[in-house]
């Protein structure tokens, strides 16, 4: 009855072919994406960074705000844990304790001396500062709201009897490693929010313009063009300055993302509209209309799927521009500023002549930023290649 059967080669082939022909659009895209090596590398990098950002509090040994500063190690160079030195091998990685001095003679720069005799051993799953993951904490109308999914004070690693700074510290002694991870999350959050808002707007406006065409299209086109022409800087300045001063940094950040979204929709809207205009006059839509389908049915079942892939790709591709806009704004001081942790705010610190010449480790967040942007872009390109139904005959 239940005879096991070895499946022969032609049968595997047949199964594969069936799988291919009955696969949904999503599965096809995924399969093609996976075969694109560059895109896969980028995707993994992206996922790793998102995870790092998500679990930033867990991964950072110290609080990235001024409360967690190391007042014994300001503007300190990165410390790499070692496993062995002239005093012998150690299973547990360690760093050296440091002493420092500063005076007019050293031009007020801290001169740090390592004490190679004193080792500070690393520990894992250390208890340190409290944090929440997926939590919110704000005061609204006099009521304090403080809920969280995960609340803990366990951190991945730490050091006994001292502090370890993998990426060094900034001028106040804040750990750059922790700040970078939190900054990735902030920038991602701002970007996501902005992209989502612009997506919704673009869909609505571009969709209406594309579907109905005619004079409605012309009017909407004109509005879109006008908004595209408005230069960003005055817009941001006014918005940023218009914020009530009582708002916290978080609220401000929320607002900035909304603004970014409001600026970003025209490009996407135009693309949607163009695509809709061409698709509308295709035969399959005509056929559906002749069959008596309603507008909403046509939109849902026929038009939308035809450019879902388009949209996904566009979303992916708008991300880096959003993140970049946030960075540029923070740089000129209109966006998020210290002490908020965002990649833009951290890059603001890099632009000081002093830092450029002496504290090159401030640049490390820049690399993360570059990696983040490149990852998004390559994933976006990969998705576009994968989503293209005619790309069978290509790489």
Partner 1 sequence: MKRLLWSSAALLVLPFAAYANCPAISVADMGGVAPGAFPAQYELGDFQTAAGCTMELSENPAVADFNAQIRNNPALPAVADRLPSEPLVVVPYASTGKYGGTLDALSNATEAGTSDFMSIRHVNLVRYSDDLETIVPNIAKSWAWNDDFTQLTFTLRAGHKWSDGQPFTSADVKFWYDNLALDPNINEKPKDYVTVGGERMTVDTPDDVTVVFNLPAPKPGLLAHFATHFAQAFQPKHFLGQFHPDVNPEADTLAKSLGFENGYAVIRAYYGNSDWMDTATPMLNSPDLVAKMPGDAAPTLESHIVVRETTEGRHFVANPYFHMIDTTGQQLPYINEMDELFANDQEVRLLKLVNGEVDYKTQSLQLSDAPLMLENQEKGNYTIQLKPKISMQTVSFNVTHQDEAKRAVFGDVRFRKAMSEAIDRDALNSTAYFGQGALQQYTGFSPLPEYIDPKWKTYAMEFNPEGTKAVLDELGLKDVDGDGFRELPDGAPLVINMQFATQGIAGQVVELISQNWANVGIKSAVKEVTPDEYRSAQSSNQLDVGLWEKGQPLGIILGNNELWVPPFENYFAHRSGMLWAEWVDSNGASGVEPPEYVKTLMADINTLQSTPAGTDEFKAIANRMVAAMVENVLFIGTALTPDPIYHSNKLKNFPEFKTASYEYYRTYPYRGAQWYLEE
Partner 2 sequence: MLRFALTRAFLAIVTLLTVSLIVFTLMELVPGTCAERYLAFKNTSGSQISIADIEVEKVRLGLDRPFMTRWGSWVYDVVVHGEFGDSCILRLNINQLLADKFWVSLGICMAALILSYAIAVPIGILSSSSNNAVANNSLRFVSYLGLALPNFLLALIIMLISTVYFGDSLTGLFSKEYRDAAWSWAKFGDFLSRAWLPVFILGWSATAFALQTVRALMLDEIGKLYVTAASARGVSGARLLWRYPAKHSLGPVINSLGFDLNRIFNELPIVALILTLTEAGALLFDSLARSNDQQLAGAIIFLLTASIVALNFVTDILLALIDPRVRRGLIG
- Considering only 88, 142, 214, 231, the residue that binds partner 1 (CB under 8 A) is 142
Partner from partner 1, partner 2, none binding residue 231, C-beta < 5-8 Å depending on class: partner 2
Specify the stretch interacting with partner 2 by CB under 8 A; choose among 21-29, 61-69, 180-188, 379-387. Answer: 379-387
Could you tell me the smallest distance in angstroms from the CB atom of residue 26 to partner 2? 20
Residue 353 in contact with partner 1, rule: CB under 8 A: yes
- Considering only 337, 363, 366, 371, the residue that binds partner 1 (CB under 8 A) is 337
Specify the stretch interacting with partner 1 by CB under 8 A; choose among 137-145, 147-155, 201-209, 322-330. Answer: 137-145
Partner from partner 2, partner 1, none binding residue 246, C-beta < 5-8 Å depending on class: partner 1
Residue 216 in contact with partner 2, rule: CB under 8 A: no
d(CA 222, CA 238): 23
Kindly identify the residues of this chain, within the stretch 230-249, that bind partner 1 according to CB under 8 A: 241, 245-246, 248-249
Specify the stretch interacting with partner 2 by CB under 8 A; choose among 103-111, 183-191, 293-301, 366-374. Answer: 366-374
Site string for partner 1, 66-95 (x = CB under 8 A): xx---x--x---------------------
Could you tell me the smallest distance in angstroms from the CB atom of residue 182 to partner 1? 16
3-state secondary structure the chain: CCCCCCCCHHHHHHHHHHHHHHCCHHHHHHHHHHHCHHHHHHHHHHHHHHHHHHCHHHHCCCCCCHHHCCCCCCCCCCCCCEEEECCEEEEEEEEEEEEEECCHHHCCCCEEEEEEEEEEEEEEEEEEEEEEEEEEEEEECCEEEEEEEEEEEEEEEEECCCCCCCCCECCCCCEHHHHHHHHHHHHHHHHHHHHHHHHHHHHHHHHHHHHHCHHHHHHHHHHHHHHHHCCHHHHHHHHHHHCCCCCCHHHHHHHHHHHHHHHHHHHHHHHHHHHHHHHHCCHHHHHHHHCCCCHHHHHHHHHHHHHHHHHHHHHHHHHHHHHHHHHHHHHCCCCCCCCCCCHHHHHHHHCCHHHHHHCHHHHHHHHHHHHHHHHHHHHHHHHHHHHCCCHHHCC
Would you say 277 and 307 are in contact if contact means Cβ atoms under 8 Å apart?
no
Residue 226 in contact with partner 2, rule: CB under 8 A: yes
Could you tell me the smallest distance in angstroms from the CB atom of residue 394 to partner 2? 7
Taking the alpha carbons of 102, 107, 108, 112 in that order, is the dihedral positive or negative? negative
Site string for partner 1, 154-193 (x = CB under 8 A): -----------------xxx--------------------
Our CB check for partner 2 shows the closer of 182 and 271 to be 271
Would you say 289 and 220 are in contact if contact means Cβ atoms under 8 Å apart?
no
Could you tell me the smallest distance in angstroms from the CB atom of residue 241 to partner 1? 6
- Considering only 229, 246, 290, 291, the residue that binds partner 2 (CB under 8 A) is 229
Q: Which is nearest to 34 in space by CA: 390, 385, 389, 394?
A: 385
Site string for partner 2, 18-37 (x = CB under 8 A): -------------------x
Could you tell me the smallest distance in angstroms from the CB atom of residue 152 to partner 1? 17
Strand partners, 85: 88
Tokens, residue 376: 């998004």
Could you tell me the smallest distance in angstroms from the CB atom of residue 267 to partner 2? 8
Strand partners, 122: 159
Interface residues toward partner 1, by CB under 8 A: 66-67, 71, 74, 102, 107-109, 139, 142, 144, 171-173, 241, 245-246, 248-249, 252, 333, 337-339, 351-354, 357-358
| Interface contacts to partner 2, rule CB under 8 A | 37-38, 222, 225-226, 228-235, 237-239, 241-242, 267, 274, 277-278, 317, 320-321, 324, 327-328, 331-334, 347, 350-351, 353, 356-357, 366, 369-371, 373-374, 377-378, 380-381, 384-385, 388-391, 394-395
């Amino acid at each position: 009855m239940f005879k096991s059967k070895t499946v022969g080669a032609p049968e595997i082939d047949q199964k594969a072919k069936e799988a291919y022909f009955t696969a949904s659009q999503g599965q096809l895209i995924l399969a093609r994406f996976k075969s694109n090596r560059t895109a896969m590398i980028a995707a993994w990098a992206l996922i790793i960074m998102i995870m790092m950002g998500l679990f930033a509090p867990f991964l950072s040994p110290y609080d990235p705000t001024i409360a967690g500063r190391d007042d014994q190690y300001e503007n300190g160079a990165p410390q790499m844990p070692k496993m062995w030195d002239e005093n012998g091998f150690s299973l547990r990685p360690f760093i050296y304790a440091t002493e420092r001095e500063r005076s007019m003679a050293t031009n007020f720069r801290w001169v740090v001396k390592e004490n190679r005799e004193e080792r500070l051993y690393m520990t894992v799953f250390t208890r340190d500062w409290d944090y929440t993951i997926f939590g919110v904490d704000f005061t609204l109308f006099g009521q304090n709201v403080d809920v969280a999914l995960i609340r803990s004070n366990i951190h991945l690693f730490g050091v006994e009897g001292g502090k370890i700074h993998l990426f060094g510290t900034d001028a106040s002694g804040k750990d750059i490693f922790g700040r970078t991870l939190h900054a990735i999350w902030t920038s991602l959050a701002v970007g996501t929010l902005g992209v989502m808002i612009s997506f919704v707007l673009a869909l609505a406006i571009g969709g209406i313009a594309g579907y109905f065409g005619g004079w409605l299209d012309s009017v909407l086109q004109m509005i879109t063009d006008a908004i595209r022409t408005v230069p960003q800087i005055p817009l941001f300045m006014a918005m940023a300055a218009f914020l009530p001063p009582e708002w916290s940094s978080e609220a401000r950040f929320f607002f900035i993302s909304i603004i970014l979204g409001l600026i970003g929709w025209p490009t996407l809207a135009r693309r949607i509209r163009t695509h809709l205009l061409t698709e509308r006059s295709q035969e399959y839509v005509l056929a559906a209309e002749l069959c008596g389908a309603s507008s909403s049915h046509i939109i849902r079942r026929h038009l939308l799927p035809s450019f879902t892939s388009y949209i996904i790709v566009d979303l992916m591709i708008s991300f880096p521009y959003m993140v970049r806009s946030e960075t540029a704004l923070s740089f000129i001081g209109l966006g998020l500023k210290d002490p908020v942790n965002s990649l833009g705010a951290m890059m603001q610190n890099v632009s000081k002549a002093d830092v450029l010449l002496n504290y090159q480790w401030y640049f490390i967040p820049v690399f993360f930023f570059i990696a983040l942007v490149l990852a998004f872009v390559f994933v976006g390109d990969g998705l576009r290649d994968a989503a293209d139904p005619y790309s069978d005959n290509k790489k």
